[in-house]
Amino acid sequence: MQQRTFGPTGRQVPVIGQGTWNMERDDRALAVAALRRGLDLGMTHVDTAELYGDGEVEELVGEAIAGRRHEVFLVSKVLPDNASRRGTVAACDRSLARLRTDHLDLYLLHWPGRHPLADTFAGFAELARAGKILAWGLSNFDERELAAAVAAAAAGEVGQVACNQLFYHLEERAIEHAAIPACEERGIAVVAYSPFGSGRFPRRESRGGRVLAEIAAAHDATPRQVALAFLLRLPSLFAIPKASRPEHVAENAAAADLVLGPDELRRIDQAFPRGRRRPGVPTI
């Protein structure tokens, strides 16, 4: 599994990780097996959140990584409504208990909310001092919100923003206009969530679907692998597809080895145009 330096953390993190949203709806044993298969294949970046299944998914992840915690780059997220200073610390403690671990590799603010960032960041700093989080980051922040967060972080003692987790797939490329460049110029990692459009992957018979299928055939690959390789063409990018079936996990992991040529990248770019710049960042 190809790895990249994850923003300012200096950590080597696999370019393709594993999402877990809605996993509480899946067959539990199969989902646990899928996550473990992903770890076997080097997809050690595991993304979860207190939101998912109202804590149930963190418990499932805890089961999946039991005995293998040291292999995992474990990420969870605090809900904005919980993100006061004390609330952030308390939410993280609850997540750690459900995940059966004493620390997270990365803790994210799930989206911008009502609590002042300075308070949330004071909570992150307290958690870091206690060794409960090794790094922290953001999710769903547009370029203006990111600039404000970077300024708030610089005014405190929390250290640097490690990443911004953003909605990014072939049919939703809006973050390429400003949100990705804002991260890149600050050395912040970009984590693409819902890289398959969260279940709305282009159909084979659509124009774009045909382009993906043709390129896939030339590489003995699949359209989803081509899609992931396209999203990962930028050096700041990581992706966290969710899959509860071990065979899906294996297909996704193999995408890390696929390198697309300039003509192929151009064809995909034309088939899935990034569209006009819009205010804010898209969310799901």
CB of 177 to ligand NAP, least distance (A): 19
Does position 284 interact with ligand NAP (CB under 6 A)? The reply is: yes
CA distance 3 to 42: 9
Does position 28 interact with ligand NAP (CB under 6 A)? The reply is: no
CB of 31 to ligand NAP, least distance (A): 8
Site string for ligand NAP, 85-114 (x = CB under 6 A): -------------------------x----
Does position 173 interact with ligand NAP (CB under 6 A)? The reply is: no
Nearer to ligand NAP, 199 or 279 (CB): 199
Among residue numbers 133 through 172, which ones bind ligand NAP (CB under 6 A)?
139-140, 165
Site string for ligand NAP, 2-21 (x = CB under 6 A): -----------------xxx
Q: State the Cα angle at 92 between 89 and 95, rounded to 5°.
A: 155
Nearer to ligand NAP, 123 or 202 (CB): 202
End-to-end CA gap in the chain: 28
Distances (CA, A) of 36 to 103, 140, 206: 19, 28, 34
Among 44, 101, 236, 252, which residue interacts with ligand NAP (rule: CB under 6 A)?
252
CB of 62 to ligand NAP, least distance (A): 15
CA distance 30 to 35: 9
Do residues 122 and 156 lie in contact, with contact meaning Cβ atoms separated by under 8 Å? yes
DSSP string, 86-104: HHHHHHHHHHHHHHT-S-B
Nearer to ligand NAP, 154 or 193 (CB): 193
Q: How many residues bind ligand NAP (CB under 6 A)?
A: 26
Cα 85 from chain centroid?
A: 24
Among 53, 137, 208, 241, which residue interacts with ligand NAP (rule: CB under 6 A)?
241
Burial of 246-283, coded b for 16+ CB within 10 Å and e otherwise, reads bebbbbbbbbbebebeeebeebbeebbeeeeeeeebbe
Site string for ligand NAP, 192-221 (x = CB under 6 A): -xxxxxxx----------------------
Nearer to ligand NAP, 12 or 283 (CB): 283
- Tokens standing for residue 53: 């299944």
- Tokens standing for residue 218: 């030339």
Q: Which of 219, 169, 220 is nearest to 199 (CA)?
A: 169
Do residues 20 and 47 lie in contact, with contact meaning Cβ atoms separated by under 8 Å? yes
Among 83, 240, 258, 268, which residue interacts with ligand NAP (rule: CB under 6 A)?
240
Residue numbers at the binding site for ligand NAP (CB under 6 A): 19-21, 47, 110, 139-140, 165, 193-199, 224, 240-245, 248, 251-252, 284
